[in-house]
Chain A
Amino acid sequence: MAKKKVLLMGKAHSGKTSMRSIIFANYLARDTTRLSPTLDVEHHHVRFLGDLVLNLWDCGGQDAFYESYFERDRETIFRSVELLIYVFDIESESPEKDFDHFCGVLEAIEENSPDARIFVLVHKMDLVAEEDRQAIFEDRKRLIAESCVSCGVENFKCYPSSIWDESLYKAWSEIVTNLIPNIRLLETHLNNFCRMCDADEVVLFERATFLVISHAQYSSSEGGTAAIANFAAPGPPADGSASSPPTDAVDIPVSSMASSPMSPDSGAGVVEAPEIVSEAAEQATDRSPAAIEETPRHVGRTPHFDSHRFEKISNIVKQFKLSCGKAQSQFQGMEVRNSRFSAFIDAFTANTYIMVIVSNPHVHTAATLLNIQNARNHFERFIPRI
């Protein structure tokens, strides 16, 4: 089990506690108006991906506290910090003082935890008119960069955020994925899974927070396209009824993981390799090249999707989880479809949810569900347990 110390700092009333409560304690944005100011430092242990414990230090932002942070408690606060999250309130009445504190914090961090990763959030962006947001954010970011440079800090990341929209999730996803080792390996496996499912995209969410930890996208350059949906005749209607498998037999699991590129570490673990339904493989062995040519190719629509979609989905699902809570139940999984797509959001490994988006009408619901089912154990093995 790994503990990571995370400092959450910024002036009083900048929204630190609100953010923490929404992300880690399932608050609704509107409930945050009832929060009382943080006095001194509040410690919170939040679990992430099961075994990763974030030791959040929510540091009250009133001036008086800063004096003690910088003087008496300097070492206690700033020692062995893995991550600093500094919050700027865009509506601050005293931006100069905010920057003074910011520089003070940066210096103390450099001195006590030179390896700490630094994230700056420019918060309450909802209060800025939409058309000005980008410009005002860029401007603020430039000032922040100047401060960092003058304090000798080279690496930092800066995000706009607001509890009233999806930007909060975006910012925190970026922050938290930074703490996950081997994230690249996970991505590779997710990419393979995406291709095998003929999915437009696949997204992995952390279970408790619903922050995005990894995603994979359909990509024509990966060579998956040629084999996708080469039906000579239209497939069955994608009406989700698992009870009537089509005669094409696409539902029969064919390619086993062992021989697929998804095999994690060749050799070990092959025995329990799950089976993945791959329509592509089935078609390749089954049909003559001539038949393949005749059929219209299905093209994934990923490039056209909204760039904030993952955060929106996080938001949507978390809201719905809260609704379920109110009705004394818990959400387990869902399918949503219309004529253009099917989305599957399901509890996946012990610490994750998965979302699979399929727009190819020839991919049967039952096949996707089976694929998700079969991939569970496989992914369980290397979704980081830290």
Chain B
Amino acid sequence: PEVDFNDKKIGTLPKILLMGPRRSGKTSIQRVVFQKMSPHETLFRLEATQELERSVVDHTSLCRFTIWDFPGDYYALPDDLEATNNDTTNNAEETKRTIFQGSTSLLFVVDAQDEPYDHVLQSFTNAVTQALTVNPSICVEVFINKVDGELFLSDESKYDCRRDIMSQVTDELAEAGVSPDNLHIRYHLTSIYDHSIYEALSRVVQRLIPQLPTLENLLNVLVSTCSMEKAYLFDVVSKLYISTDSGPVDMQSVELCSDMIDVVLDVSGIYGLGPENPPPGEDQPAISNGEGERSGDKQLVVDPLLPSTLASQVQSDDIDDGIIHPDSAYDSESASVIRLSNGMVLYLKEVDTMLALVCITRSENFRKKSMINHNIGQIKKALHALV
């Protein structure tokens, strides 16, 4: 389905601009994280991007943005962007503004396996200077991608690569007259073959969420009242975490929580999908939620063509409705408990459409489950009030 990017509702969403040289992995990143393509499929299923491809990410109401996947030479813009202005001199300006204005993250993808980087980093500097003329507060993120395989077996080699690129970027920018004080660049070592890409994109997305401080506060309160070790809010479709409490983030535990989401969606996809034709005798939803009527609950909308909302992107006209698909494996009763041998418990609970609270807690503190549930219920209410 076509998404109308001239629509104001979509035009004003935060943007993630994927830029960088050809074959650095921009499209792969977008497909793997947002469209569930398996990393090894990107090897043979992707062709070079010919023109700007835009898509909307709108799984959960707190986390909505658009992704702009540019071709390697990123000035090949689509007609509808340029058609807005006939005057050719203003045209370039106009285009630049459309791209960089507003809440925007310039995500520059570098292929770590393709040395030397100097040419690539020149074009990076180019993009950054252009962007700054329009939007001085733009977020700049460098993804040092493809840090996997033979070349990057050790962490040391990754850090070397990052150091290398950071110093070159600093030199380049200084040469172009960009003061380091005006710009905060973050660097991420990524690979689509492991969890690093999710970690990096989570941090990018968090920067684009205006309610982030509030979310963090809510989670801080939850963690301290319930004596939890850690709590995350995950977009279950992309598996990016959009917020966490302010305690230190341990990559391994994030990865485990993210893997838990896979387990929950996969198992629910097998046993918990809504029957398109309910078996005889089961003519009504089997369960009543014991909480009475909740004002925040959305109407269900039936669309027999979509098996579930998990893999597909929500279409533009759904953007305000926060549609829960009746056949979705993830619904308002979704929850999961995983017990580990080290005495930890992972607890996942639905808090909004396609949004999960995942917490890590010691099993002795998990005994007060009704208290935990109550508090999560409070968070749920607060989240509804936020959007």
The answer to whether A binds B is yes
Q: Which residues of A contact B (CB under 8 A)?
A: 30, 200, 234, 236-244, 296-299, 301, 303-306, 309, 312-313, 316-317, 319-320, 323-324, 326-341, 343, 357, 359-361
CB 8 Å contact bits of B271-287 with A (1 = contact, 0 = none): 11111000111101111
26 inter-chain pairs at a CB distance below 8 angstroms, sorted by A residue, are A237-B288, A238-B333, A239-B290, A239-B373, A241-B369, A241-B370, A301-B275, A303-B279, A305-B271, A327-B252, A329-B340, A331-B340, A332-B340, A333-B339, A334-B263, A335-B337, A336-B267, A336-B336, A337-B333, A337-B335, A338-B330, A338-B331, A340-B274, A343-B267, A359-B271, A359-B286
Choose, from B125-133, B253-261, B379-387, the stretch at the interface.
B253-261
**CB of A122 to closest CB in B, whole Å:** 21
- B267: shortest Cβ distance to chain A, in Å? 5
B369 touching A332, Cβ below 8 Å: no
B271 touches A341 (CB 8 A): yes
A306-B270, A327-B253, A327-B255 known; A240 vs B337 contact (CB < 8 Å): yes
Q: A243-B369, A301-B275, A338-B333 are in contact. Are A237 and B263 (CB under 8 A)?
A: no
A242 touches B369 (CB 8 A): yes
Nearest CB of chain A from residue B250's CB, rounded to whole Å:
9
Range of interface residues on chain B? Answer: 35 or more
Tell whether B289 is near chain A: CB-to-CB under 8 Å: yes
Q: Are B282 and A334 in contact (CB under 8 A)?
A: no
Whether B373 pairs with A338 at a CB distance below 8 angstroms is no
In the bound complex, CA of A320 to CA of B261 (Å): 10
Q: For the complex, give the distance between the alpha carbons of A337 and B334 in Å.
A: 5
- Interface presence of B375 (CB below 8 A): no
B267 adjacent to A313 (CB under 8 Å)? yes
Residues on A with C-beta less than 8 A from B342 are 328-330
Q: Shortest distance in angstroms between A295's beta carbon and chain B's nearest beta carbon?
A: 11
Q: Which residues of B contact A305 (CB under 8 A)?
A: 270-271
Docked Cα-Cα span, A312 to B267, in Å, equals 9
- Given A239-B290, A329-B342, residue A336 in contact with residue B263 (CB < 8 A): yes
Whether A332 and B330, one on each chain, are in contact in the complex, defined by CB atoms closer than 8 angstroms, is: no
**Pair B281/A297 contact, Cβ less than 8 Å:** yes
Residues of A within 8 A of B338 (CB): 320, 331, 333-334
11 additional A-B pairs beyond A301-B275, A338-B272, A339-B331, beta carbons within 8 Å, are A30-B40, A200-B271, A240-B337, A312-B270, A316-B263, A320-B260, A327-B255, A334-B338, A336-B268, A339-B272, A361-B287
Closest residue of chain A to B290, judged by CB?
Answer: A237
> Does A323 lie within 8 Å of B256, measured CB to CB?
yes
Query: Separation in Å of the B109 CB from the closest CB of chain A?
Result: 22
User: Which residues in window 346-374 of B have CB below 8 A to A?
Assistant: 369-370, 373
- Chain A neighbourhood of B40, CB < 8 A: 30
A126 and B322 alpha carbons, distance in the complex (Å): 36
Instruction: Report the Cα distance A332→B290, complex, angstroms.
Output: 29
Q: B282 is contacted by which of A301, A323, A336 (Cβ under 8 Å)?
A: A301
Contact residues in B for A333 (Cβ distance below 8 Å): 338-339
Q: Identify which of B271, B334, B339 gathers the most chain A CB atoms within 10 Å of its CB.
A: B271
Q: Quick check: is B341 within 8 A (CB to CB) of the other chain?
A: yes
Assembly CA distance A313 to B271 (angstroms): 10
Shortest CB-to-CB span from A236 to chain B, Å, is: 7
Q: Select from chain A the residue with minimum beta-carbon distance to B277.
A: A304
Check A337 against B336 for contact (C-beta < 8 Å).
yes
Looking across the interface, which residue of chain B has its beta carbon closest to that of A322? Answer: B259
Residues of A within 8 A of B266 (CB): 312, 316
Residues of B within 8 A of A343 (CB): 267, 271
Is B209 at the interface (CB under 8 A from chain A)?
no
Residues of chain B with a CB closer than 8 A to A357's CB = 271
B262:A316 contact, CB within 8 angstroms: yes
B75 at the A interface (CB under 8 A)? no
Q: Known: A241-B370, A329-B341, A359-B286. Contact between A320 and B333, CB under 8 A?
A: no
Chain A residues closer than 8 Å to B285, beta-carbon distance: 339
Assess whether B193 is interfacial by the CB under 8 Å rule.
yes
Residue on B nearest A303 in the bound complex, by CB: B279
- For the complex, is B264 an interface residue (Cβ under 8 Å from A)? yes
A298 contacts B336, CB within 8 Å? Answer: no
Q: Are A244 and B370 in contact (CB under 8 A)?
A: yes
Q: Which residues of A contact B369 (CB under 8 A)?
A: 240-243
- With A337-B334, A343-B271 known as contacts, the answer to whether A298 contacts B339 (CB < 8 A) is no
The chain A residue sitting closest to B270, CB to CB, is: A309
Residues of A within 8 A of B373 (CB): 239, 241
A243 / chain B contacts, CB cutoff of 8 Å: 369-370
Chain B hits for A341, CB < 8 A: 268, 271-272
Name the B residues within 8 Å of A239 (CB-CB): 290, 335, 373
- Cα distance, A15 to B274, chains bound together (Å): 38
A312 to B271, CA, bound (A): 11
Interchain nearest-CB distance for B89 vs A (Å): 52
A29: nearest residue on chain B (CB-CB)?
A: B40
Contact in complex: B335, A240 (CB < 8 Å): yes
Tell me the smallest distance from the CB of B251 to a CB of chain A, in Å: 10
> Is there a chain A Cβ closer than 8 Å to B329's Cβ?
yes
Q: Does B134 contact A (CB under 8 A)?
A: no
Q: Does B332 contact A (CB under 8 A)?
A: yes
Residues of B within 8 A of A299 (CB): 279-282
Distance from A222 Cβ to chain B, minimum over Cβ atoms (Å): 17
Name A324's contact: one of B256, B288, B333, B336 (CB within 8 Å). B256
Residue of B nearest to A324 (CB): B340
A200 to B272, CA, bound (A): 12
Shortest CB-to-CB span from B119 to chain A, Å, is 31
User: Could you tell me the distance in whole angstroms from the C-beta of A380 to the nearest C-beta in chain B?
Assistant: 20
Q: How far is the CB of B323 from chain A (nearest CB, A)?
A: 16
Is the CB–CB distance between A298 and B252 below 8 Å?
Answer: no
Q: Which residues of B contact A240 (CB under 8 A)?
A: 335, 337, 369
Given contacts A239-B373, A304-B279, A357-B271, contact A339 B336 (CB under 8 A): no
| Residues on B with beta carbons closer than 8 Å to the beta carbon of A244 | 370
Chain A minimum-CB-distance residue to B279: A299
B344 within 8 A of A: yes
Which 10 pairs show the lowest CB-CB distances between chains A and B?
A237-B290, A330-B341, A339-B333, A323-B259, A299-B281, A338-B272, A334-B338, A361-B287, A329-B342, A329-B340
Cβ 8 A contact of A319, one of B262, B273, B336: B262
- Bitwise interface map of B from 63 to 80 toward A, beta carbon under 8 Å scored 1, else 0: 000000000000000000
State A324–B341 Cα separation when bound (angstroms).
9
B186 to chain A, nearest CB (A): 25
Contact B286 A319 (CB under 8 A): no
A173 to B322, CA, bound (A): 42
Q: Can you name the residue of chain A whose Cβ is closest to the Cβ of B281?
A: A299
Q: Which residue of B lies closest to A30 (CB)?
A: B40
